[in-house]
Amino acid sequence: MSTIHPVSSSKPETESHGSRRAHHKGMHTRAMLLDAALALASELGLEGISIGALAEMVGMSKSGVFAHFGSREDLQIAIVQEYYQRFEQEVFYPALKAPRGLPRVRAMFGNWIQRVTEEVQSGCIFISGAVEFDDREGAVRDALQRAVRSWLAAMYRAIEQAKEEGHLRPDTDAQQMVFETHGLILSVHYEARFLQEPHALDRIARGFERIVAYYSTGTSA
């Protein structure tokens, strides 16, 4: 009696390949939508964002956009998260290449200023979002707060490391120094973007050097 061998099928493999391709396409579409959503939010603010406005901008149906973002709030949160990830890539991670201590603090602030220089024209979602959601509890404000607090915490750690390296005075209040440097960033947005003060970016650099001089021990570059 002959043995009947099962016939292998390539269907599962084909389906797996198709699933991977569909997943890749979905990720590509989502990335494209987030690019457009970020541009829209920079112009209109997070409150100006809607599924319909985004769909119209990219030439998709509302249902197509809904497939990636289940609600307007989900879209707003995704914008905040994407915005912060790009902020980290441009500001935080490059600064880690600088030596620990004050050189790294300077690198972080310098990268931050470079980012601000671009945002003077396009707008900062963190700042506009704070104005829009400052008194509105909910998931969008929570996402904004988490992003900003995460960045300020990174600045705090860098300043504490500068104290450990002996670059800043031992009695330096790291939280106060973070507050002062953050204040410079908020001021330059107001001065340069709203008042259109032409020397605002020069003033922020001088302001930072004054902060550093006050807390510095003078033992680092």
Q: What is the mean pLDDT of the chain?
A: 88
For 49, half-sphere exposure in the C-beta direction (CA atoms, 13 angstrom radius) is: 29
pTM, to two decimals: 0.82
Amino acid at 18: G
What is the pLDDT averaged over residues 125-138?
88
Residue 146's pLDDT band, with cuts at 50, 70 and 90, is very high
Please indicate whether residue 21 or residue 101 has the higher confidence score (pLDDT).
101
Confirm if 139 and 77 have CB atoms less than 8 A apart. yes
Tell me: pLDDT of 174 over 90. yes
* Distance between first and last Cα of the chain: 88
Mean local confidence (pLDDT), 13-18 = 57
Instruction: Give the pLDDT confidence of 181-202 residue by residue, as tens digits.
Output: 999 999 998 898 888 888 988 8
Identity of the highest mean pLDDT range in 7-16, 62-71, 128-137, 169-178:
169-178
CA torsion sign, 141 to 196 to 118 to 51? positive
- Percent of the chain exceeding pLDDT 90 equals 61
Predicted confidence at residue 95, as pLDDT, reads 96
Which residues does 68 contact at the CB level (< 8 Å), separation at least 6? 26, 29, 30, 33
DSSP bridge partners of 216: 168
Domain ranges of the chain: 74-215
Report residue 61: phi and psi, to 5°.
Answer: -80, 160
Check whether 18 has a pLDDT greater than 70: no
pLDDT at 221 over 70: no
- Superfamily of segment(s) 74-215: Tetracycline Repressor, domain 2 (1.10.357.10)
Confidence of residue 14 (pLDDT cuts 50, 70, 90): low
Burial (CB count <10 Å: 0-12, 13-18, 19+), residue 13: exposed
CA distance 159 to 14: 54
Give me the amino acid identity at 77: I
What mean pLDDT do residues 211-218 have?
Answer: 93
